[in-house]
Structure 1
Amino acid sequence: MITEQTALQTVKQQGLLPLFYHDETEVCLTVSLALYKAGVRCIEFTNRGKNALANFKQLVAARDTQMQDLLLAAGTIKTGEEANKFIDAGADFLISPVFDKVVCDTVYLNKVFWIPGCMTPTEIHVAQQAGCKMVKLFPGNLLTPSFVEAIQPLFTGIDYAVTGGVDTTAENITAWFKAGVAAVGMGSKLISKKILETKTYDQLSNETAKVLQLIQSVK
């Protein structure tokens, strides 16, 4: 089992959390392999569709055979039941859009790293008091880098990831890291609908590699 410290350090070192969901298993596998080829070692597969759990299990099998140094997170986890199912399926850690007490208790009992979603100082405080080492600021397009700069002096000892409103441009990425985030989550801005429709997975690998390089240069 991956320790909480290992998961946290992997997210911080990579600085990028690619996140996606697709109904088709083959697409999920191909996207994951394309991201892995680019140098990604940590992926969030979101629980946003009817085939989420089944496809996640297939990704776990692929991880165990083809991408053994990849950390696979289950995202959009909102209930204790969902948390248990994805932990049992082999998730290395969990990510949520909210702070949920039952999910918190579940990950604590299972010693699984968890990144809850927060939008206010109160939510960040609750998460930190519960022992969370990183929170996801969401939605980033509403909170902005200025929000990160404002709250950082209030909460020491906790890291921030941001999702929503993050794109692949140098200007945007630089603004977030300059503000103080430890990682950025990217969904459709990176794994675009066009790439999925045209199956241009080499393009996805190339663009992801550039984003990873950019992040390392501005962290």
Structure 2
Amino acid sequence: MKTIQNTIEIISEQGILPLYFNTDENISIEVLRSLYRTGIRAVEYTNRGSQALPNFAKMVAVRNAEMPEMLLGIGTIKNLDQAKEFHAVGADFFISPGFVPEVWDFLKNKEILYCPGCMTPTEIIAAENAGIKLIKLFPGNILGPEFLSSIKDIFQSLYFMTTGGVESNYTNINSWFSAGASAVGMGSQLISKKRMQDRDFTLIENEVIKAIEIVQIIQNEKKAVV
């Protein structure tokens, strides 16, 4: 049985959460297949327009038929109605740009991960006190790794994932893991609009593989120190 903790562990072990959206259903599905071929087992599809829900439903159907190990999550959830819609079509986890308590109330007893975006200690405390375990630091490029390193000790029971402005290189990714992040969310650095428009799925695969390798190096270095 999938649990909240199990989903967190899969994302943390993967270390990188690819995220994307495309209005084209076929491109959305082909990107998902490309990510699966790289070894990715958790993906965030962002709720960015009227096509997001029908596209996501088709992606879930393809996932069920071809990629049983893939966790398919939905991002940019801003209200309860959106959460209910995507839950109805089979979303495995939910991510928001901010903390929406009624979304968490809807999901928590279903053992479905909810990862809210937070930008201040006040927001993180509110999420922690509500029972949230994984916090999305957003936007990461505004907060910076120094923010996480300065607050990590007072939130030792929480997992942190930074999203927004994470660059696909060792120095930037390592700065976040060194500060205490368990994972980083990456979108346009890996799955850019141009790459999708060009249907260059091979390039997307190659860039994701490079990012995975960087994360694995960092994770192995961390284990060696411990």
In structure 1, what is the Cα distance between the partners aligned to 2:132 and 2:121? 14
Residue 187 of structure 1, CA deviation: 0.7
Note the residue ranges of structure 1 that are not aligned, 5 or more in a row. Answer: none
Q: Counterpart of 1:44 in 2: which secondary structure?
A: strand
Q: Counterpart of 1:2 in 2: which secondary structure?
A: coil
- Residue 62 of structure 2 is aligned to residue 62 of structure 1: yes
Aligned AA (2:187):
G
The answer (yes or no) to whether the contact 2:169–2:214 under 8 Å persists in 1 is no
In structure 1, what is the Cα distance between the partners aligned to 2:149 and 2:91? 32
Pairing of 1:63-212 with structure 2 (within 5 A): 63-212=63-212
In structure 2, what is the Cα distance between the partners aligned to 1:96 and 1:35? 22
The answer (yes or no) to whether the contact 1:77–1:97 under 8 Å persists in 2 is yes
| 1:178-212 deviation digits (Å, cap 9, x = unpaired) | 11100000111110122112211111111111111
Q: Mean Cα displacement is larger for which, 188-197 or 41-50?
A: 188-197
The answer (yes or no) to whether the contact 2:149–2:180 under 8 Å persists in 1 is yes
Residue 218 of structure 1, CA deviation: 0.6
Q: Counterpart of 1:73 in 2: which secondary structure?
A: strand
In structure 1, what is the Cα distance between the partners aligned to 2:5 and 2:175? 27
Q: Counterpart of 1:19 in 2: which secondary structure?
A: strand
Q: List structure 1 segments (4+ residues) > 3 angstroms apart after TM superposition.
A: none
In structure 1, what is the Cα distance between the partners aligned to 2:32 and 2:80? 26
Residue 154 of structure 1, CA deviation: 1.2
Aligned AA (1:56):
F
The answer (yes or no) to whether the contact 1:97–1:138 under 8 Å persists in 2 is yes
In structure 2, what is the Cα distance between the partners aligned to 1:111 and 1:78? 19
Q: Counterpart of 1:99 in 2: which secondary structure?
A: coil
In structure 2, what is the Cα distance between the partners aligned to 1:171 and 1:103? 35
The answer (yes or no) to whether the contact 1:75–1:94 under 8 Å persists in 2 is yes
Aligned AA (2:16):
L
Q: Counterpart of 1:34 in 2: which secondary structure?
A: helix
Aligned AA (1:94):
F
Count of residues in correspondence between the two structures: 219
Q: Counterpart of 1:97 in 2: which secondary structure?
A: coil
- Aligned residue number for residue 6 of structure 2: 6
The answer (yes or no) to whether the contact 1:22–1:49 under 8 Å persists in 2 is no
In structure 2, what is the Cα distance between the partners aligned to 1:2 and 1:84? 19
TM-score computed with the length of structure 2 as normaliser: 0.95
The answer (yes or no) to whether the contact 1:18–1:185 under 8 Å persists in 2 is yes
TM-score computed with the length of structure 1 as normaliser: 0.97
Residue 153 of structure 1, CA deviation: 1.0
The answer (yes or no) to whether the contact 2:2–2:111 under 8 Å persists in 1 is no
| 1:76-125 deviation digits (Å, cap 9, x = unpaired) | 11111111111111011111111011111111243311101100001001
In structure 2, what is the Cα distance between the partners aligned to 1:88 and 1:9? 24
Q: What is the alpha-carbon root mean square deviation over aligned residues?
A: 0.9
In structure 2, what is the Cα distance between the partners aligned to 1:31 and 1:8? 23
